Amino acid sequence: MPQFRSALIAAALLLTACTPDPAETPATRTAENCGHRVSVAKPPERAVALNQGSAEILLSLGLADRMAGTATWTDPVLPALAADNAKVPRLAENNPSFEAVLAVEPDFVAASFVSTLGQGGVATREQFEQLGVPTYVSPTDCLKDNEAGGDGVRTETLTMEVVYTEIRQLASLFGVEPRGEQLITELKGRMDRATTHAQDVSLLYWFANAESPYLAGCCGAPGVITTTLGARNVFDDTHAEWPQINWETVAERDPRVIVLGDLTRRSQTAETGEAKIAFLESHPVTQNLEAVKNKRFVLLSGQAMNPSIRTVDGTEQVAQALRKFGLAG
């Protein structure tokens, strides 16, 4: 391992000293990404996706044979991607070490979150790039203030167009532009078909934690779902991505429908949808909520509640539930 890392460093220094600016190479593919200019001299052949969202985009683009590893999984992979995903080594269920990533000799690293490729994460973008490994971070995460504490604060409302930009840029860097456009067309069609008119429906999104719950603010992936369905988030006046809000405040807002993160991880209390429902039905503050009394619960994967291609699945599932509850046409 030390020998490999030293070789990478030496190679990076040699490239810096002896090769022309990549921008001058005709074959170079580039993308402006979160304040970084990402350049690849040729389409990557040993990519590592450090978050499930990034992994599922690459798999959806048919790039399993060019992936050297994945990490940080919160949910089972999409069924349609399971066979391809099984071909790609999983480096860790959570953040792998920097050394573990380098050990698979990556030529490209992608992540869904700034924190994954930042201080306290796997490594910084600069650490990878100093070794000649280009990095890419989902632009959905760069649009918010990640220095504001918690999961960040959004002053700009997220749209699916940002997810489509991510798909388009990754497809371009990997030289599979037609696949990217096909995937975008499919996702747009599904979003159009999921559109409903639920004007008087108020929604609450609960991701995790029973004692001090993480609930969705206005403008992240739940905002995309809510806007598409013509509904209203009871905390649409809150710009934090996932603020922790007490149950007494939830009772004051009294949502008509509660969307629950049905998580497979085990890091917080009340992770599964089943555990969340049991809590809501037994807690003295929440058991009298309209949504609880009428059992209007919608269970979504964690990935569907984060900005990703899974947000489309989330939109479809909430739309279907609202129709089932008789709250949307």
CATH number of the domain enclosing 293: 3.40.50.1980
306: domain range?
A: 197-324
Task: Please give the Cα distance from 111 to 71 (Å, whole number).
Answer: 10
Domain membership of residue 191 (yes or no) is no
Residues written for the chain: 329
Task: Tell me if residue 277 falls in helix, strand or coil.
Answer: helix
Q: Would you state the structure tokens that stand for residue 269, as one six-digit string?
A: 């209390």
H helices of 117-242, in order, are 125-130, 139-142, 160-173, 177-194, 221-229
Whole-angstrom distance, CA of residue 136 vs CA of residue 117:
9
Same domain, 211 and 123: no
Residue 158 lies in a domain: no
pLDDT value at 215 more than 70: yes
Residue 173 maps to a domain: no
Total number of domains constituting the chain: 2
Q: Is residue 239 a part of any domain in this protein?
A: yes
| Residues 6+ away with beta carbon under 8 Å from 291 | 204, 255, 256, 257, 258, 297
> Which of 5-14, 20-29, 81-90 is least confident?
5-14
| Residues 16-57 pLDDT 10s | 333 334 444 557 999 999 999 999 999 999 999 999 999 999
Confidence of residue 267 (pLDDT cuts 50, 70, 90): confident
- pLDDT value at position 3? 40
**Among 109, 116, 108, 111, residue whose Cα is nearest residue 146:** 116
| 4 touches 102 (CB < 8 A) | yes
Residues 100 and 213 in one domain: no
pTM: 0.89
SS3 state of residue 62: coil
In the chain, the amino acid numbered 5 is: R
Residues 132-164: pLDDT tens digits?
Answer: 999 999 999 999 999 988 899 999 899 999 999
Same domain, residue pair 201 and 124: no
pLDDT at 25: 54
Residues 311, 203 share a domain: yes
Show which of 137, 155, 172 is a domain's final residue. 137
Residue that the structure tokens 């739940």 belong to: 222
Q: Within this chain, do residues 6 and 133 fall inside the same structural domain, yes or no?
A: yes
pLDDT for 39 equals: 97
Residue 151: inside a domain:
no
Asked if residues 258 and 280 have their Cβ atoms less than 8 Å apart, the reply is yes
Mention every residue, 6+ apart, whose C-beta is less than 8 A from residue 125: 36, 117, 118, 135, 137
Q: With 60 as the cut, is the pLDDT of residue 4 above it?
A: no
Does residue 314 share a domain with residue 212?
yes
Better pLDDT: 306 or 5: 306
Q: For residues 126 and 18, state if they share a domain.
A: yes
